[in-house]
Amino acid sequence: MTALQLADEREAADLAAFLSRLLHYDRAAAVRLQAAGTALAVFGRPPSFEVLAIRAVRLAKPYENGLDVTLDVTVSAGELLEALDLAAATANVPAAVTGPPWAGVLPPRRGWRAAEPGLPEPDALRALVSAAVAEFRTRTGELAPEARTRAQLDTIGRDIWSRTVGDTGLPVRAVHAAQSLGFLRGAEPTALLASGAWLRLRTPYGSIAVRSAGLGAGLGLSVR
């Protein structure tokens, strides 16, 4: 069984929080793990947001498993959470699962550049999400009971969350996901990066990546 030694208890607690939030949105959530050296990347896709969430975790020592020097596996988020020992800052990697389609399509590792225009300040981003949530509640609350169907709610949601943050091209749902997953905290800086067909909202606590609407799958896409 492959064991990961995380850098410290805080890294273990942050990873546990990330996994718990993913499981809140999908009890059967899977995550793809990629480790090389002392860096572990954990990829997940909360279905409510239609984005890719990425949590970087520091390891106490370079990953090694016999002759293997890298780790690349898709596992159950719930099983990984159960395997975390917060006090010891360790985790046994669960058995691999058949990955969902998104797990085979990840953002590129390199080639990211700062996108212009950049993002507003964190407070403005949080205010944008709050306004979107309030609008959703208002519009759905105004529906007659017989019109409050799942299809109608989804239509309203798509209208609101597919809007972009100013002229950045980043959908508001990406900011909502960053806040809901604990990536958007306090006054910590945010950055908007671009690579091929991908946009990435990066914070010190994690990233949210989305593919630009209408662009082909071959642009800057990394299939591994």
What tens digit of pLDDT does each residue of 137-177 get? 999 999 999 999 999 999 999 999 999 999 999 999 999 99
**Phi, psi angles (nearest 5°) of residue 191:** -140, 150
pLDDT of residue 216: 36
Q: Which of 87, 106, 125 is the last residue of a domain?
A: 106
Judge whether residue 64 has pLDDT over 50.
Answer: yes
pLDDT mean over 174-186: 95
Query: Are 121 and 90 found together in one domain?
Result: no
Statement to judge: residues 158 and 210 lie in one domain: yes
Residue 213 has pLDDT above 90, yes or no: no
Specify the number of domains making up the chain.
Answer: 2
In a shared domain, residues 96 and 119: no
Question: Within a 10 A sphere around the Cβ of 197, how many other Cβ atoms?
Answer: 19
Query: Residue 163's closest CA among 175, 154, 151?
Result: 175
Q: Are residues 145 and 219 in the same domain?
A: yes
Q: Is the pTM of this model over 0.85?
A: yes
Residues 27 and 99 in one domain: yes
* Residue 134 structural domain: 113-223
pLDDT digits (tens, 9 = 90+) for 199-210: 999 999 999 999
Count CB neighbours of 124 within 10 A: 12
Q: What is the CATH number of the domain that holds 25?
A: 3.10.150
pLDDT of 220 > 90? The answer is no
**Domain-ending residue, one of 106, 127, 153:** 106
Same domain, 14 and 56: yes
Residue 77: the pLDDT is 98
Where among 71, 106, 141 does a domain terminate?
106
